[in-house]
């Protein structure tokens, strides 16, 4: 099968020291050539420190010095607050850059709090915020919280207020889109009420929402600039969910794209069960993201199903060709929850179905038994189009290229950041 693009890979930032990964987020700020890179260290799952930021005003030809933001995340009493931007989008209607910010408040020791989840005990709480910039990210407005239910908003003086922690919980997505009609659409994972006694028995691990009779589902937040109020107004969509028998962890890390028809495609990560193998899941909205059709598995354009691990994917439309692309992991055999997270593919989306065009499947990177361990992960990445060259750029930490290949410890975390350039 011929490749749809030329792919170049280079080691971009090496691991800072043994047993610690380099993790990089890259994004444009505004609608010009200003870029930002956020670099951190990671030595255990989902916990980073030593966060540094640098910027470039000339599309990456030259950079400012790295500026340390946090050696460790700030604390208040028994609470630790992790807070970082997930994505941004320039809105021509307002002339502002809108940024979506993730916040996690952890109770007690952070790494212990994360580990407790797998024992059925929630010790951390996620929320979503937004802010705007009129100067390409040099300065930002105060954070405003996204909400979908009654409850107090974040109090900077009291991070651990129980009523705040346990309402309006969400894990935001990694992309924000502007539609042709001027609205913004942002997807997020949220707890959705769901009770089915038989389905409860099917679930083989803890309820990760932390709420009784809930599953992890998705809502989209639709924003529109109000020029009279000089502010954004947000509404929350109807929830999207599947039973635990379909995905025991629910629907996670959603991504959205506007199709040529004007409909919104929502793509979501799931997790296999004893009944249902690992898939990617989709839903379509024909009213701008307010309500959604049924959740179905993402397939090839000939109708055939494919397997996928529990990992996120991205969708991106090329400015020159107008083709919508999907980037993510596809497995040759039924995966075991999160693994294996390779190969990493890019494929064109047939927007009339929607589905992946099988003949366009192209491997971006894959497990190399002569170099990598079987625990290799090609999953968490930044992706955007270079605004001068029209090439896609991806930045990915290759966890598991080193180590004994048997455990997620030691040299599994000695991982470098790689840069991929995709030329069409």
Please check whether residue 340 is in contact with residue 389, taking contact to mean a CB–CB distance below 8 angstroms.
no
Give the pair of three-digit tokens for residue 83.
């807070």
pLDDT tens sequence across 119-168: 778 899 999 999 999 999 999 999 999 999 999 999 999 999 999 999 99
Please check whether residue 180 is in contact with residue 89, taking contact to mean a CB–CB distance below 8 angstroms.
no
pLDDT at residue 188 tops 90: yes
pLDDT tens sequence across 201-250: 766 455 678 888 899 999 999 999 999 998 999 999 999 999 999 998 99
* pLDDT the model gives residue 95: 97
* pLDDT the model gives residue 206: 52
Q: What is the pTM of this model?
A: 0.97
* pLDDT the model gives residue 81: 98
The domains of the chain are located at 1-70+371-378+398-424, 73-168, 170-366
pLDDT tens sequence across 352-379: 999 999 999 999 999 999 999 999 999 9
Q: What is the mean pLDDT of the chain?
A: 96
Average pLDDT over residues 263-281: 95
């Amino acid at each position: 099968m011929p490749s749809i693009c030329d792919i170049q890979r280079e080691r971009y930032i090496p691991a800072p020291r043994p047993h610690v990964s380099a993790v990089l987020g890259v994004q444009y700020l505004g609608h010009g050539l200003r870029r930002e890179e956020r670099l951190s260290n990671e030595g255990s799952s989902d916990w980073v420190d030593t966060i540094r930021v640098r910027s470039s005003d000339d599309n990456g030809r030259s950079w400012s010095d790295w500026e340390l933001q946090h050696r460790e995340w700030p604390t208040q009493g028994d609470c630790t607050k992790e807070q970082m931007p997930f994505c941004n989008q320039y809105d021509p209607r307002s002339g502002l850059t809108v940024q979506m910010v993730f916040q996690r408040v952890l109770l007690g020791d952070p790494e212990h709090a994360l580990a407790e989840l797998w024992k059925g005990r929630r010790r951390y709480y996620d929320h979503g915020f937004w802010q705007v910039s009129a100067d390409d990210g040099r300065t930002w407005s105060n954070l405003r919280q996204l909400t979908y239910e009654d409850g107090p908003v974040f109090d900077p003086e009291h991070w651990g207020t129980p009523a705040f922690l346990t309402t309006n919980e969400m894990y935001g997505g990694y992309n924000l889109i502007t539609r042709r009609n001027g609205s913004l659409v942002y997807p997020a994972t949220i707890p959705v009420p769901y009770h089915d006694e038989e389905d409860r028995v099917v679930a083989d691990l803890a309820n990760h929402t932390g709420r009784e009779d809930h599953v992890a589902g998705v809502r989209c937040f639709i924003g529109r600039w109000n020029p009279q109020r000089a502010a954004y107004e947000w509404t929350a969509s109807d929830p999207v969910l599947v039973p635990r028998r379909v995905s025991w962890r629910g629907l996670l890390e959603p991504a959205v794209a506007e199709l040529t028809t004007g409909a919104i495609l929502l793509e979501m990560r799931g997790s296999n069960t004893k009944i249902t193998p690992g898939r990617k899941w989709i839903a379509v909205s024909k009213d701008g993201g307010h309500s959604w059709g049924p959740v179905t598995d993402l397939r090839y354009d000939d109708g055939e199903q494919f397997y996928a691990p529990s990992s996120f994917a991205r969708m991106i439309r090329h400015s020159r060709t107008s083709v919508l692309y999907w980037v993510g992991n596809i497995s040759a055999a039924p995966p075991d929850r999160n693994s294996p997270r390779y190969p990493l593919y890019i494929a064109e989306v047939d927007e009339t179905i929607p589905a992946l065009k099988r003949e366009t499947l192209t491997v971006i990177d894959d497990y190399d038994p002569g170099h990598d361990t079987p625990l290799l992960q090609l999953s968490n990445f930044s992706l955007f189009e270079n605004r001068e060259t029209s090439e896609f750029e991806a930045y990915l930490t290759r966890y598991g290229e080193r180590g004994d290949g048997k455990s997620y410890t030691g040299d599994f975390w000695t991982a470098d950041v790689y840069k991929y350039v995709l030329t069409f």
